[in-house]
Copies of this chain bind each other. A is one copy, B any other.
């Protein structure tokens, strides 16, 4: 069991997309101002800030984002920047929880941000590849690494093209209700099936987009009545090199993170009603819903095609539209997942929700469980 109540006091998510009129700092400050407005917390109550960002050093020539974030406040709270590739957001939330559990801080702000469209697309692809093992996987794009995982999975379980496509179609449908989503546009199985091949068998509409965006939450150790709480969290690591893994049809880091989080919360996968999972590619959502224990290994594609992961199904996966349709401003993603689930639990739409954030091709995974 977690030793203290970790209440979530507010959330904010910016519009995700190609935000040509906003800078990195604009997005960072928009989320900080937004989450303060969406809570009853006064700026001077923020004891510390945890900033999630993957690669502003390359995308925007800006490091030291902890100092930029602190500058928003008159009292300059101590600030930290966490990076773990695409899991930076999850790591920042987890670090904020550690900060609260330490007894050093009572109220902390977590903000995730990424401004990717300052760089041209080929450079973005190169920058994202720094999440893989540069020594051993040099030259492989992330689509290529996930294509390899898809091939291994299809060889073992025979998951077909339509099942992969069903993930993208479902997430685009979910995003129709999310006004912050990058793509509020329905797509069909045929459109995914016939989209351009990026790295076989992955096609353009299997891939999450390049996005700008930010998200923030405020966490507190006070047991605030009727506010959603983080009741469990887990953090798993696995080999960063795919070549060193014993099983390419699962992400072991996800399984470890989920086991830790379930144990801490005293719950099992069956208790989870809604989840935001890391669908950077369609295959990633299929792996996630299996590795998190929602569906048996090898059946995630079938479950998706049979509408078991949408409203009215067994569990609602990625009601926001996920990385695929809501967008994937890398450092913001893990924080935005917490914001999404917090909002659904706060509104009593579901009893228990889960977030799942992955770094690289699965070397880092962070899971949080939220309930009232």
Residues of A within 8 A of B (CB): 3, 23, 25, 54-55, 57-58, 60-64, 66-68, 70-71, 76-85, 91, 95, 97-104, 126-127, 129-135, 138, 235-241, 244, 253, 256, 359-360, 363-364
Contact = CB atoms under 8 A, between A and B. Distances in A.
> Which of A57, A79, A95, A363 is the most central at the interface, judged by chain B CB atoms within 10 Å of its CB?
A57
Contacts of A244: 71
Secondary structure dominating the interface of A = mixed
Nearest to A98: B102
A62 B237 contact: no
Copies of this chain, count: 2
A78 B3 contact: no
Given A76-B237, A102-B101, A238-B76, A23 B64 contact: no
Contact of A60 (B60, B129, B134): B134
A84 B3 CA distance: 29
Contact of A67 (B78, B95, B135, B240): B240
A81 B84 contact: yes
B98 A67 contact: no
A10 to B, nearest CB: 22
Given A62-B135, A63-B131, 9 more contacts: A64-B364, A66-B237, A67-B240, A67-B360, A68-B133, A70-B237, A71-B240, A71-B244, A95-B98
B76 A84 contact: no
5 contacts: A64-B131, A64-B132, A64-B363, A67-B360, A76-B236
A360 B67 CA distance: 9
A112 to B, nearest CB: 14
B80 A95 contact: yes
Nearest to A364: B67
A134 B84 CA distance: 23
Contact of A84 (B23, B62, B80, B99): B80
A58 to B, nearest CB: 6
Contacts of A241: 71
Given A70-B363, A76-B237, A80-B91, A135 B98 contact: no
Contacts of A101: 101-104
A244 B68 CA distance: 12
B64 A55 contact: no
B77 A237 contact: yes
A104 to B, nearest CB: 6
A91 B238 CA distance: 24
Contact of A54 (B25, B60, B63): B63
A67 B84 contact: yes
A62 B102 contact: no
Contacts of A68: 133, 240
A253 B78 CA distance: 10
B363 A237 contact: no
A222 B135 CA distance: 37
B240 A130 contact: no
Nearest to A49: B237
A80 B57 CA distance: 18
A78 B131 CA distance: 16
B64 A359 contact: yes
